[in-house]
């Protein structure tokens, strides 16, 4: 798979120099090494990195970096000449809870003390080409690259306390996924992923049911 400009830029950001990039450790190519810390930058699809993490974590501290776009510009190029057709701002703004779309694939690893997650909030360009090879949802337009415009801030999740802080303080002692969705203004599907991950991390526990809906409480 071709490396995106975003991935290459983040690798450069975390590395002190090129000699600390793409290092072989235990048979795996590591994006960046800082002293004894292995840094893996994953822009999507945590399921693809699950086995790699599972093999590395018993012997190495790993920082898994995930970029979230606070602001995204859609750049569309023509298929034949790469001529700029338009550049527009996407209405969607990423948020910290987006990490749970990917964490659901590695829930078995989230309690490993050697694993830390870092969400890096960015402004980026998503480059598309009208080549007829892309998704039917985009009418055949392909996404060919992501470009980093600016790093805004970072949020490192290094243990249960950091993940617990993502839940709103306004939740009652017993609550549902719908309560999480309402208090955080999330889609229910994302709130459900969040609750599932926090339950797997033993931050939340199932306290009962209301109809068919599970009720949750905080682990003591």
**What pLDDT sits at residue 138?**
66
Structure tokens at 163: 């993940």
Task: Report whether 9 contacts 2 (CB < 8 A).
Answer: no
Using a 10 angstrom Cβ sphere, with 0-12 exposed, 13-18 middle and 19 or more buried, the burial of residue 206 is exposed
**118 three-state secondary structure:** strand
What global pTM score does this model have?
0.91
- The HSE-up count of residue 71 (CA atoms within 13 Å, CB side) is 8
Q: Measuring CA to CA, which residue among 67, 66, 38 is closest to residue 53?
A: 38
> Mean pLDDT over residues 73-86, rounded?
88
As a dihedral over the C-alpha atoms of residue 122, residue 136, residue 190, residue 4, rounded to 10 degrees, the angle is -30
Question: Which tens digits make up the pLDDT trace of 41-71?
Answer: 999 899 999 999 999 999 999 999 999 999 9
**204 three-state secondary structure:** strand
With a cut of 90, say whether residue 90 has pLDDT above it. yes
Report CA torsion sign: 85, 88, 90, 96. positive
Query: CA-to-CA distance for 95 and 185, rounded, in angstroms?
Result: 11
Question: Which tens digits make up the pLDDT trace of 1-45?
Answer: 678 999 999 999 998 777 678 889 999 999 999 989 999 999 989
In sequence order, what are the residues at sequence separation of 6 or more whose Cβ sits closer than 8 angstroms to the Cβ of residue 88? Answer: 73, 74
């Amino acid at each position: 798979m071709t490396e995106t400009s975003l991935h290459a830029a983040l690798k450069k950001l975390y590395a002190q120099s090129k000699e600390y990039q793409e290092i072989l450790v235990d048979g795996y190519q590591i994006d960046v090494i800082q002293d004894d810390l292995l840094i893996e930058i994953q822009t999507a699809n945590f399921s693809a990195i699950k086995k790699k993490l599972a093999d590395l974590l018993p012997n190495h501290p790993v920082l898994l970096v995930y970029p979230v776009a606070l602001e995204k510009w859609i750049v569309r190029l023509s298929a034949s000449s790469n001529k700029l057709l338009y550049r527009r701002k996407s209405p969607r703004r990423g948020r910290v809870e987006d990490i749970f779309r990917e964490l659901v694939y590695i829930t078995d690893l989230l309690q490993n003390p050697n694993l830390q997650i870092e969400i890096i909030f960015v402004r980026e360009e998503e480059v598309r080409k009208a080549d007829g090879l892309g998704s039917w949802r985009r009418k055949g337009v392909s996404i060919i690259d992501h470009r980093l415009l600016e790093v805004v801030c970072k949020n490192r999740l290094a243990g249960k306390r950091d993940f617990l802080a993502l839940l709103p303080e306004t939740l009652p002692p017993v609550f549902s996924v719908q309560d999480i969705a309402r208090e955080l203004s999330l889609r229910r599907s994302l709130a459900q992923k969040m609750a599932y991950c926090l339950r797997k991390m033993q931050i939340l526990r199932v306290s009962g049911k209301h109809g068919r809906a599970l009720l949750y409480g905080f682990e003591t």
